[in-house]
Amino acid sequence: MHRGKGMKFVGDSRVPAERKPNIPKDYSEYPGKTEAFWPNFLLREWMVGAVFLVGYLCLTVAHPSPLERMADPTDSGYIPLPDWYFLFLYQLLKYEFASGPYTVIGAVVIPGIAFGALLLAPWLDRGPERRPIKRPIASSIMLIAVACVIFLTWEAVDHHDWEAAAQQGAIVEDVEVDETAEGFEIWTTQQNCINCHGGDMLGGAAAPSVFQSDYSKEEVMDIIINGAEGMPAGQFEGTDEELETLAAFIANDGQNPDE
């Protein structure tokens, strides 16, 4: 019998396993093409993310979010505007092929295809190269996506009426309107007036608050009958007594003139 024949090696839980330090593998055979995920790549990702986070926090402190007036559900002329990072989708929905009966195409299909292509880019181009010029599929998809977002965002900003948006969203001085007054009840029956000035009489996208100027009752009646700049004449539908009551209510800034 030879020495060692039939010898068996068994493990023993009492013997601690040898632990080696977490040393990244040697990737010198592939210079510039790959590296250890931990800690090299992940550390750089964290550092870049931290820089962008600090920059974003500085922007929020230096330029706080602008506030607008309270929402008025009766103001049908209000034109909403999304935040800047959604402006390209907002502009896309303005085109004929992505709006109206084709809203689903503009809101779901086209964005789904675009973002799906970005998600599939790593699987469509699985080469080891890291330089963009050596990865034509992934680089082309990214450049097309960036170009489309920049173009649609620019178009949304360029075609938006910013002066009208600032006017429709301006915060006006709060006026406590006496909704029990007879003048307010007459106002609620005047749909032509509500469409522009709002159901609360505090203005909308098409017209300002009816309480912004210090008009007398006679001046208010003259404007209602004969119109004014940007306001057509003959919009009031009611009797002369109702007109006088409404004008007195407006001249008293929304309070009952009898009080």
Q: H helices within 93-190, ranges in order? A: 103-104, 110-124, 136-159, 162-169, 182-187
The string of pLDDT tens digits covering residues 234-256 is: 777 778 787 778 778 777 755 65
The string of pLDDT tens digits covering residues 45-72 is: 999 999 999 999 998 889 877 777 777 6
pLDDT (0 to 100) of residue 107? 87
The string of pLDDT tens digits covering residues 159-170 is: 888 887 777 777
Superfamily of domain 82-159: plastocyanin oxidoreductase (1.10.287.980)
Q: pTM here?
A: 0.49
pLDDT (0 to 100) of residue 39? 79
Checking if the pLDDT of 201 tops 80, the result is no
Do the Cβ atoms of 205 and 197 come closer than 8 Å?
A: no
Buried b (16+ CB within 10 A) or exposed e, 42-75: eeeeeeeeeeeeeeeeeeeeeeeeeeebeebeeb
pLDDT (0 to 100) of residue 33? 60
Tell which CATH architecture fits domain 182-251. Orthogonal Bundle (1.10)
Do the Cβ atoms of 235 and 224 come closer than 8 Å?
A: yes
Checking if the pLDDT of 1 tops 60, the result is no
pLDDT (0 to 100) of residue 34? 64
Domain locations in the chain as residue ranges? 82-159, 182-251
The string of pLDDT tens digits covering residues 219-232 is: 777 777 777 777 77
Do the Cβ atoms of 256 and 246 come closer than 8 Å?
A: no
As given in the structure block, the two tokens for residue 127 are 């080469």
